[in-house]
Amino acid sequence: MKKILPFILCNLLALASFAQVGINTDSPSPAAALEIKSSYNNKNYGGLLIPTVDATGRDDITSKASIADEGMLIYFVEGNIRCLQIYDGLNSSWADVYCMPTNYAPTASNVFISGIIEDTQTLTANYTYSDFENDAEGTTTFEWFIADDAQGTNTTTLGVTDSTYALQTADVGKFIFVRVTPVALTGELIGSPVDSPLRGPIKNQGGVASDLFISEYVEGSSDNKIIEIANFTGQDVNLSDYHLIIFRQNGNLTGPISLTSNTIIDGDVFVISDTGNTLATGEVDAQAGNLNFNGDDSVLLYYSSGGTDTLIDIIGPDSLINPPNNNPNFAQNVTLRRKPGFGPSTTYDSNDFDSFAEDDASGIGSHTY
């Protein structure tokens, strides 16, 4: 056996002199004398484990080493010191390549927001602080953010760094999350920031709208024209005092379009369509032959009392205020659905609506406020 081992070693050295050698690879790099592949058959992964020694073991290596052993690697472990070290043959000493931390940073977990997601309500950041060495918590920091949707689109900081945040009217319809950065009192002080899940959409106070509003607008192909009116006023509302008017791009008016004497219960919707409409017909409550708006015509909801008409809500520019022929194709061949948290407004803002493809009437018949 003693004779066979030197023979094998000599053959390996001879092979290395004339060709590349690889472990778990059939095609080692031509620039490498030895290549160790980290996977085999595309599934079995492994790493290179170098010798682990303490001070006694390392000193034993040093007593044998020479300048010819320059670059030798070991993993040195002594007490709480854990370092990858390389041998410096010129100085006959070991140099640290990388040392594991002797103290770990704190962590924040289970980060979430508690509180009612509603205008004027106060939200609180909740989290679990932990530290591997049990270092006490210092002044953990917070930052609140707002976004357009649950995916975090257009995330913007609110500039608030307290552990609580009072929701504002401007936040309605948005989604909110908090970023917690744990801080220890001693040791490794600052941990990695952790974000809470987004919550929303943020609703108006009490979830009550000031009046009825147009919750969906379908400007579809041909006669597929639908208007959905929602009631989130906190009480049932009779439609006999409400009507629609269409302000045409050419300055003409169509209406009033009666909504009949139906009553919308709180939390429900009323759907009216053109007589030629073929979309969501099972959800349509009434039809009108003159509900034939196009994408450049504004649709307005009015309340009538004592001979006075009051504008309640609008979809599109108001052509009575703007000069005729000034209505752009603001909603041509699309469906507009009001975002949750947004109620009636006498000023049209496209940011209050989500836009969907032509003839998409999948949301007709219900609304989330």
Identify which has the larger pLDDT, 49 or 22.
49
How much helix, strand and coil, in percent to the nearest 5, is found in the chain? 10, 40, 50
On whether both 78 and 162 belong to a single domain, the answer is: no
On whether both 212 and 201 belong to a single domain, the answer is: no
Domain-located, residue 13: no
On whether both 350 and 215 belong to a single domain, the answer is: yes
Please count the other Cβ atoms lying within 10 Å of the Cβ belonging to residue 277: 22
3-state secondary structure 246-291: EECCCCCEEEEEECCCCEECCCCEEEEEECCCCCCHHHCCEEECCC
Q: Examine the pLDDT at 302 and tell me if it is beyond 90.
A: yes
Measured distance CA(242)–CA(311) in Å, rounded: 10
* Percent of the chain scoring above 90 in pLDDT: 55
Q: Residue 319: which pLDDT band, with cuts at 50, 70 and 90?
A: low
CB < 8 Å & 24+ apart, contacts of 137-141: 137/106, 137/182, 137/183, 137/184, 137/185, 138/183, 138/184, 138/185, 138/189, 139/183, 140/108, 140/180, 140/181, 140/182, 140/183, 141/180, 141/181, 141/183
Domain-located, residue 116: yes
Query: Residues 315, 319, 325, 329: what is their CA dihedral angle, to the nearest 10 degrees?
Result: -10
| Amino acid identity at 48 | L
Query: Which residue, 331, 254, 266, is CA-closest to 300?
Result: 254
On whether both 257 and 331 belong to a single domain, the answer is: yes
CB 292 within 8 A of CB 222: no
Domain-located, residue 133: yes
pLDDT in tens, 232-266: 998 999 999 999 999 887 778 888 999 988 889 99
Domain-located, residue 21: no
pLDDT for 196 equals 96
Count of structural domains, the chain = 3
Q: Burial of 101 by CB count in 10 Å (0-12 exposed, 13-18 middle, 19+ buried)?
A: exposed
On whether both 193 and 117 belong to a single domain, the answer is: yes
On whether both 225 and 349 belong to a single domain, the answer is: yes
On whether both 243 and 343 belong to a single domain, the answer is: yes
pLDDT for 166 equals 95
CB 224 within 8 A of CB 274: yes
pLDDT in tens, 147-163: 988 899 999 999 999 99
pLDDT for 4 equals 45
pTM for the full predicted model: 0.50
Measured distance CA(296)–CA(325) in Å, rounded: 9
At which of 205, 230, 246 does a domain end? 205
Looking at residues 107-125, what average pLDDT do you find? 91
On whether both 72 and 166 belong to a single domain, the answer is: no
pLDDT in tens, 202-213: 877 767 888 999
Domain-located, residue 164: yes
Measured distance CA(298)–CA(216) in Å, rounded: 13
* Percent of the chain scoring above 70 in pLDDT: 90
At which of 205, 230, 250 does a domain end? 205
Q: Which residues have CB under 8 Å from 159's CB, separation 6+?
A: none
pLDDT for 261 equals 81
On whether both 252 and 312 belong to a single domain, the answer is: yes
On whether both 175 and 221 belong to a single domain, the answer is: no
CB 154 within 8 A of CB 148: yes
Name the β-bridge partners of 303: 242, 310
Average pLDDT, the chain: 87
Domain-located, residue 19: no
Domain-located, residue 311: yes
pLDDT for 6 equals 46
Helix (H) or strand (E) holding 12, with range, is: helix 4-18
Measured distance CA(20)–CA(26) in Å, rounded: 10
Q: What would the two tokens of residue 174 be?
A: 């948005």
Domain that holds residue 63: 48-100
At which of 205, 224, 253 does a domain end? 205
The CATH number of whichever domain residue 309 belongs to comes to 2.60.40.1260
The sign of the dihedral angle between the CA atoms of 320, 322, 324, 325 is: negative
On whether both 117 and 84 belong to a single domain, the answer is: no
Domain-located, residue 362: no
On whether both 213 and 198 belong to a single domain, the answer is: no
Looking at residues 336-352, what average pLDDT do you find? 87
